[in-house]
Amino acid sequence: MFNLCLFGAGRIGTIHANCAAQNPDVQIKYVVDVFPQAADKVAKQLGATVVDVESALADPEIHAVIIASSTDTHADLIERSALAGKHIFCEKPVDLTVERVETCIRTVKENNVHCAIGFNRRFDPMFAELQQAVRNGQIGSTEIIQITSRDPSPPPAEYIKVSGGLFKDMMIHDFDMARWLLDEEPVEVFANGSCLVDATIGEAGDIDTALVTLKTASGKLCQISNSRRAVYGYDQRIEAFGSDGMLQVNNKLENGLVATGSQGTTTAKPQHFFLERYADAYRLELNNFIEVLRGNAKPLADEKDGLNALLLAEAALESFKTKKAVAVNLKG
């Protein structure tokens, strides 16, 4: 039996905790949240107790923590959990600054705990099949990866202000996918972007539409296309092109009906947003974490992956500002 503590009783924390708790060997023992009401509600659902951070980490029966609190608390909780000898599952991003992430990595390493980072898309069955097929050589040598990632609608401007901006908040997932699929680290980043969707995003100093190009040392190329708004729903597609062909993953649709009428043939919209699209991925991600706790697996994405995605986001931001390609040196 593994006892877990959940930090952050919001929407995504609840999802992670429920996914973990579906495992018969897992008990969510504690829930910690700055909002007592939220903590109470989730604790009741999970049969858990509401405590504070200190108490939770002081309990020797706690094997691991799920960190799903606000981004600015991630690094602190990672370090305190690591020092307490707890294994860690932390939502992305680790932190918005490279220095802080590097400190976390050292602490995690020194305390010999596992730290899985919530790059949930690696667990999506469709993308996992794509990655496996690329690794198996189905397209020969990979040459171009094309990632299209569009949200259904922009978050409120207040969120934008604390989000770290499009590259660190939204495209960070795509940077991680790019690294995972390219199977060779990017060495160069170019970013362009615009504020086309919501003027208040521009006023908050951010962009809502972006194109980024990555290049690896051997010359493999990757394009990432982001928008904060797609009227048809969550647009999550990847295309991998290589010397022997092309592999594509298209959107998952809301239903399977094909309707033909006087206006043509219509199929459903993509599933609306990440909760629907990545429901399987969230489940598999926590299953993987439980296997890590059992000693049967390593995290599919760990703290170094968190750092490397952030380094790409930093480089993209610099490129966007300077209008130059920016060299990056990721940490193997």
- Contacts with a second copy, residue ranges (CB under 8 A): 125-126, 129-130, 133, 138-139, 141, 143-144, 146, 148, 150, 188, 190, 192-197, 209-211, 213, 215, 219-221, 223, 225, 227, 229-232, 235, 241, 243-250, 252-253, 255-269, 323-325
Cα 152 to the center of its chain, rounded Å: 17
User: Which residue lies nearer to a second copy by CB, 112 or 260?
Assistant: 260
Rounded to a whole number of angstroms, the minimum distance from the CB of residue 76 to a second copy is 36
Six-digit token pair at 113?
């705990």
User: Which residue lies nearer to a second copy by CB, 59 or 254?
Assistant: 254
Rounded to a whole number of angstroms, the minimum distance from the CB of residue 217 to a second copy is 11
CA–CA gap between residue 322 and residue 67 (Å, rounded) = 35
Task: Outline where DSSP puts E strands in 35-185.
Answer: 49-50, 62-67, 87-90, 115-117, 142-150
Contact 121, 219 (CB under 8 A): no
Query: What's the first-to-final CA gap in the chain, in angstroms?
Result: 34
Rounded to a whole number of angstroms, the minimum distance from the CB of residue 195 to a second copy is 7
User: Which residue lies nearer to a second copy by CB, 164 or 270?
Assistant: 270
User: Which residue lies nearer to a second copy by CB, 165 or 306?
Assistant: 165
Residue 293's Cβ-side half-sphere holds a number of Cα atoms within 13 Å equal to 25
User: Which residue lies nearer to a second copy by CB, 63 or 215?
Assistant: 215
CA–CA gap between residue 330 and residue 332 (Å, rounded) = 6
Rounded to a whole number of angstroms, the minimum distance from the CB of residue 149 to a second copy is 12
Contact 228, 170 (CB under 8 A): yes
Rounded to a whole number of angstroms, the minimum distance from the CB of residue 138 to a second copy is 7
Q: Which residue is it, tokens 């500002």?
A: 321
Rounded to a whole number of angstroms, the minimum distance from the CB of residue 160 to a second copy is 17
Task: Outline where DSSP puts E strands in 20-75.
Answer: 26-32, 49-50, 62-67
Question: How many other CB atoms are there within 10 angstroms of residue 233's CB atom?
Answer: 22
Rounded to a whole number of angstroms, the minimum distance from the CB of residue 144 to a second copy is 6
Rounded to a whole number of angstroms, the minimum distance from the CB of residue 105 to a second copy is 30
Question: Beta strands 245-249 and 235-242: pairing type?
Answer: antiparallel
User: Which residue lies nearer to a second copy by CB, 76 or 188?
Assistant: 188
User: Which residue lies nearer to a second copy by CB, 16 or 215?
Assistant: 215
Contact 191, 165 (CB under 8 A): no
User: Which residue lies nearer to a second copy by CB, 13 or 193?
Assistant: 193
DSSP-based three-state secondary structure for 238: strand
The candidate with the shortest Cα–Cα distance to 122, out of 168, 178, 164, 170, is 178
